[in-house]
Structure 1
């Protein structure tokens, strides 16, 4: 069987780096893929977020940078236990919000890297792979937008996996969500940029797509294809962000 890494397609890397002390610490979460390059640092003391430091190097819409202030307002002063997917996600950039949630969840854990590889469709079929710290953890096969592997999820679409993921062992639930979200975003590679240029046509699921911003948002269109050439996601930003921890 052809390996995902040998096929053209979408790539995403998420890297989480916690630093702890007796009083508190900081945790950095970074993400880069074809369309996005972002990072969030949470500083915390006594289990409470004392500072939120978002970075947005690449984003798909001109209005996206304003979401940095929204993230700071959402999570500054909150207990780490309250930095969850349930807090104002639609009002935020979903990617910055996800990074903040990852950072909080791993604030007292160990460094972690997730890599997602999603092949472009070939005859309606895609392979989706997730690696944790370089080792393959999940491999899904999709045909005509329906999963055919793993067998337990056969017949489901990616956006229908909530209950299936909730039934997985606890240590697989976060990786499965990472692969699900990235697999949905990866569909954008097959849509011509001119068909992605009207935010007002999209549901209000994030900061940019709220009605007051959707009417003024313009597509940036700065894309990178990490399946071609030697470059790897986060290679150029990780050192700078780690130096600030």
Structure 2
């Protein structure tokens, strides 16, 4: 059966909302596995104070991550956030939220990114990113390989970096967010018991660092926003 829109398919949903004000900027994200936020207070040039909050996170060790992100970025110039090279020692999601804060701190309007990735059906999967409700990036996959659009054919979510770097700067941020969302969406297809041993994971985030990975326990609080009952961040205030 032909399906015209990813909205009609079950799958992963993720929403970012970035809300700037004159003295601070708030970035929020919610998806199947996470609900968290970062607020960056600033003087227009430097981050004077950072506050991170975890409403929903997948590991018992995650609550220590806000202190780490606050330490990483407090006192850092907004233009230097993206140059920090310690993403793997932080919660990667909080880190990305902090970068979004810095990138949009001086904006005047709220920015919303929606990421929709369908569950695979006979090896086919669709991924789409919308900016303030308008689709700006999309691709289709077959057995893990991108087949549409033609200029991306043969790439995978793991080999997208050169393509992202070739894009217009205005598209690079949404492309990175869509790529990461497509990676996270794979979790819907992996049985929970096979993704609940942190000690077997690469040391790519705060919880998966060796000292914490051995004690981390999985928190099973997974939402399915594609069932139509609620949208990500619907229950979270914007300020």
- Name the TM-score class by shorter chain: over 0.9
**TM-score, scaled to structure 2:** 0.96
Gaps of 5+ in 2: none
Deviation at 1:85, TM superposition (A): 5.8
Gaps of 5+ in 1: none
Mapped partners of 1:130, 1:46: distance in 2: 29
Which of 82-91 and 94-103 deviates more?
82-91
Q: Equivalent residue for 2:38? A: 40
Q: Equivalent residue for 1:72? A: 70
Q: Equivalent residue for 2:92? A: 94
CA RMSD in angstroms comes to: 1.0
Q: Secondary structure at the match of 1:42?
A: strand
Q: Equivalent residue for 1:58? A: 56
Q: Equivalent residue for 2:150? A: 151
The answer to whether the Cα contact below 8 Å between 1:85 and 1:98 also exists between their aligned partners in 2 is no
Deviation at 1:86, TM superposition (A): 3.6
Q: Equivalent residue for 1:185? A: 184
**TM-score, scaled to structure 1:** 0.94
The answer to whether the Cα contact below 8 Å between 1:74 and 1:87 also exists between their aligned partners in 2 is no
1:129 equivalenced with 2:128 (yes/no): yes
1:11 equivalenced with 2:13 (yes/no): yes
Deviation at 1:46, TM superposition (A): 4.3
Change in 2 beyond 3 A, CA 1:233/1:46: closer
**Alignment size in residue pairs:** 236
Q: Secondary structure at the match of 2:225?
A: coil
Q: Equivalent residue for 1:237? A: 236
Q: Equivalent residue for 1:221? A: 220
Mapped partners of 1:174, 1:165: distance in 2: 9
Q: Secondary structure at the match of 1:224?
A: coil
Mapped partners of 1:167, 1:29: distance in 2: 26
The answer to whether the Cα contact below 8 Å between 1:118 and 1:126 also exists between their aligned partners in 2 is yes
The answer to whether the Cα contact below 8 Å between 1:94 and 1:206 also exists between their aligned partners in 2 is yes
Pairwise mapping of residues 152-171 of structure 1 onto structure 2 (< 5 A)? 152-171=151-170
Deviation at 1:238, TM superposition (A): 2.2
Q: Equivalent residue for 1:28? A: 26
Deviation at 1:123, TM superposition (A): 0.4
Q: Secondary structure at the match of 2:15?
A: strand
Deviation at 1:87, TM superposition (A): 3.1
The answer to whether the Cα contact below 8 Å between 1:71 and 1:96 also exists between their aligned partners in 2 is yes
Residue-by-residue CA offset, 1:112-148 (whole Å, 9 max, x unaligned): 0000010000001100011000011111101111111
Structure 1 moving runs of 4+ over 3 Å? none
Deviation at 1:170, TM superposition (A): 1.4
Mapped partners of 1:166, 1:158: distance in 2: 14
Q: Equivalent residue for 1:201? A: 200
Mapped partners of 2:156, 2:143: distance in 1: 9
